[in-house]
Structure 1
């Protein structure tokens, strides 16, 4: 009897089940998420607008993103191509209130577990069926992020339009979409920007906030804007509580006054969305109701607790010292070589000329630092990624520097002469717009253009180095205002130029060098070899930017040019010399334009594989900052190393510290994860990660662990004890340092 009853019930429900089926597409399944499209009706008869739902069913700990993803990620995007009988241009996707995810200062917004995005789309002809072809590009993230595409199809007939079984679920998520309009139950009454000695903030006053609610405030402005979570200030504005959001990343020094933004406020089950315009700081209506205001403010990683004046003088001293130390860094060796030869040439000249030459070089250094500061300021104002030494990520710059170094090496080998007097005269005439002078010797002419250009050349080759003290000063400058950038870079230039200024003040220092003689040919040959070594290093960096084939083409062009220059030097036929010089020029041009025809490698060296073992057996993993928090939560200790082929200090750290037996032994533990990022080529993810810690140059090394989830930043020039101690501290096992 029971079986007959169930069979009869099945026959009765079968038509309704058949009707319900078309109201959904098939699931598009991935390991981390399943996606489908739903319809609130099972047909389009007499329907002029369809309510659809884009449903994501996510695996545990996976998420997809809101319309403004935050500091990372991107929201789902729909392509309606192939759909018929609907006005795809008028389709409106609605976004339920998201959840904030805060990981190591990165703020992202999205959804976990399950979400349905309501979509309203007009029907063109209700008497015809609707065919939906929906391509959804989305990003799902957990410990890793995986981009995916869902290809969904749904056909709705024109002979019915009953409410489907999915209508209720779609409306449940539609109810979570923030309210808009002029009569909101809660609203932003005022928004303005303020700052203190440590950071800049947006202040938001909330009207009619539900009693006892802890609100979250999401501010949408330009794509580069980033704001921290709201913190109560303990103040009120006309009786409305005020919350403070730290301005982060590229927007730190930006002025938001009069800027139009969108504020979304979440308070329990209540969510509102409101357009706002940033005003000026109110002069009245503010009442302090909490004397412990400072404890509620977000802290910055570089907050030293000192007052602003003291910090400025300390940072200024570090800038001077950092610039001075640049003179002894390995990447400045070619510049020191050129200056040694210049000093030898000047030692036989009069005291005044020696002084002017070194002052001109110091001015060249200062002007170069001002040019770099100006370029970084323009990038900062434009919202771009800025960093110390980033010109070494540009193939054109690397190619030009390689050509210059090779030509200087040819000059050192005596293949052609660039005498100090001729270089000074030509450069001075170009700078002063004078016609070339004849009949004057160099000592009488006194042209300083060549020495000025030597100082500029010194600065260009010095910037890949981020010596101790330099990184702190540069980070302070790039995280501050435009004035901070120029002030710090001026002090860096003065520190770098200090040896030249000392010789200018006491020219007899240069005269202590031996008198010119046959030994100078040996010195010039050795210095030529040093310059060739620098050229090879530049080519190796260039290979990381444009690939081995492109760098080989540049090298081949310069080898051909050098051979032609050598042939011109050796030939006794004067008529051949112009032809050989022209061919050498063409070879140089071939080297110059070779990068434009080269295809860069698909991935950087450090991040090309999922896991790599270096030449001494250390298991470096690719840079994945979004996984650090989860690794630490699992009890792991993570050493993050940001390096680049053009960073000489990075290579020094690797050889003298990281790859030593004692440090390798300390890092050879199951719970220690080694994570390496390669900044040889531009990488916005790495640039954002560095900026989060107010670092804009490399080397960058930090250790994260259960006892140090916010990270322990290491100095630019590493020490063995420093690395071992930081790992032991972050792990919470001091005994590790003795293993």
Structure 2
């Protein structure tokens, strides 16, 4: 049986009339109900019981100032202290209830400002959501006394009317509260009250220029589109007064030199040194020129990377050395290039021995170009590696002024170029190298294996940046790249071989190219985002759905109240309220509350649908081929039950990597932006029961449903009824139909029960 909270006919618009009328209507409503049926959960207390209110609520008037200074404002507060299990209401009570009313009776010349309402809590009872305060709340008001006060002390009074409720019953009350303060020339602080006021102010919503928002409605739905600009460090904050030291330059040089021994760089340097063997009999000036051009390639590449890194950091980006490896497209391109290079070293095909600038068959100009390219390539290959001495030098480089920072990177580049440069200027060192022979081919093929290892590392990096399907696509593309190289090296008709191999290489790379990096949109930036409307324009008991748009902003889809059209007239074309945001962090989530007072624009349904569709499409395009399409969590029976107890539907995908049908289902039916938005709209929690490795727990769960194989997809609902079982082969339509059935059953849970 429903308590009085559910009698919305009598209480939804109570805030607009006097408290006496509120009491009358609620009492009348409960009287009608109690005449028909006995309440199983409670009743509304009658006037005869008002004399027992003290056990539910105490009211007093407090000030953080011990004295009143003429012409100097101070703060008063109506202090409401509720018994455990009881609550009073915010200025918009929500689904039912009435806010406290304060009528001031102040000495002549005193004026009172508006009540400052702390952000309330949400109290849900049988599907009805109210905005309440529990425990102790201070409704603070700024008081401005006149410049001259004739009498001292002064008495400030207020008549307070309230509704206080528990989950079983409600009661009403009113009374006069007062406080007497002496008049003085210096303000004295009441520490205990000031401390309470400070805590209350921390719960006030704030106004921020960093928050921009707009609101659209078509009379059926309301969209709140907002964006909170994050605080960015300024250019001055990044610059520092630290001075460039000789020690920093030395560490950078040593770190660059040690990079030559890293597996990322060693194959490139090794092949360049091998090139000296073939140049041993050439003119010394030509050898020195090759060394200088190689060094120039290293320097130019370091300068470009360093400049980009410094400028991005000064723009507020949190980047470090190797930042380009955070872009899956770069990692993909580098892995592909290295595969071609490694296959060349393994002898699968030949570009000519000048591929790394080591050959002598090409012209001098081509050879110098190869040396410059080798320097560039060595720089790119060095970015995934971290060598001893390098960390402190890089740390200093990223906080020094730009010129000093470039000097540190220049020192690092010279260290990287040191081996080649030393051999160029000291040809006698070449005498220590073996003479040309068959060992060179063996050495070249051996150098392919460090590259294969680097490719594996890059693919492992990609596995953390792209989804399973995209990773599989990239691996298949690698096979096609190897096939194109084999065609290039082994087909007898060389011209046709070139055309076919280039076509395969370009087609495969285009097919497998990852999407641009993005901030994961389905990873909700806000653990909680909720809008408290000051007027009952929004149904407090409806679901407020978070949708992330492409530009980094957030769209909050709000349910309209039954009386939206009527309340819209009082709103004067404005949407006013509090936007409550809780950052999604693993520890210590930060709560942010912002005041909103923005135009509420009426648009056609077509335009609103188009706006929402574009937002969802942009979400879908960002989610394309990423592992974060749906925010999958690991399955366990306890996790399922926990979410069901919280009132969430749960979608469980029993799957395995080796199950081809499972992977097709995920790709075809569970990865689109439309599906992501639908899951978010209904609050469905997706859980993945991964049976890739043999285990009895999942096998037992499958057997409970009469299954012994995957795929198996099922939707559990908190109504305790039978779960919705989906077929083995899924399409997007099948899943959407199942979600529609789940929505219908969820709707029944929130419908008022008949008496």
Q: TM-score normalised to the size of structure 1? A: 0.43
Structure of higher RCO (CA pairs closer than 8 Å, 6+ residues apart): 2
Q: Which has the larger radius of gyration?
A: 2
Q: TM-score normalised to the size of structure 2? A: 0.42
